[in-house]
A and B are shown apart, each in its own frame.
Chain A
């Protein structure tokens, strides 16, 4: 099983700032089969990025994904008030799909 470690655990930023979230895999994620989700309290997760860098339908272009191998990054170029949430990374390169533990982006 591929273990995903997200950092930092919590990111305290102000609206308008840039957010950089990291996810490191315990082994290479094949074909960059990697996704990012956003979850707000009391809501289901929402797909943001798939295949490491492809934005899902309806996702604003301030969200971008990058990376390959074992290191992946989600960048939010300028934080909007609605972006404060928990973000999860996920790999689907093996038969055992796994999620990271999450990064909470909170208002500073």
Chain B
């Protein structure tokens, strides 16, 4: 069974940093493109970033470019999202999702990030 489990969310002050992790199991992690998608409370889905199977390609939503960094460790079956210079607008549930370069058939349960003083 494919499983994706996010961790690392929590409360952080504006301007602060946070690193999210997503552990995959039950599938060949290195064969999946991986993405981060976020959802503010009561709002819709917003794509954040994606990384190619071998980590050789990444890209970001304009709203997070220059502040967030996506990476992966295929030996550990783990995806990461380093988030810097956080603002209240970054508060959301962050989902990791895996699948193709554009669409994702596998999702984690999400981790909540709250940016507040």
**CA–CA, A102 and B45, complex, Å:** 8
Q: Mark A65-103, 1 if CB is under 8 A from B, else 0.
A: 000000000000000000000001010110111111110
- Counting CB contacts under 8 A, is B72 at the interface? no
**CA–CA, A101 and B45, complex, Å:** 8
- Counting CB contacts under 8 A, is A46 at the interface? yes
User: Which applies to chain A's interface (DSSP): helix, strand, loop or mixed?
Assistant: loop
Known A-B contacts A1-B62, A44-B107, A44-B109; the reply to A102 vs B102 at CB < 8 A is no
User: Which applies to chain B's interface (DSSP): helix, strand, loop or mixed?
Assistant: strand
Which of A44, A90, A98, A100 meets B108, CB within 8 Å? A44
B66-117 contacts to A, CB under 8 A, are: 95, 99-105, 107-110
**CA–CA, A96 and B47, complex, Å:** 8
Chain A interface residues (CB < 8 Å from chain B)? 1, 33, 35, 37, 39, 44-47, 50, 56-57, 88, 90, 92-93, 95-102
**Closest CB pairs A-B (n = 9):** A92-B102, A44-B107, A97-B47, A35-B103, A99-B45, A50-B103, A47-B105, A102-B44, A101-B44
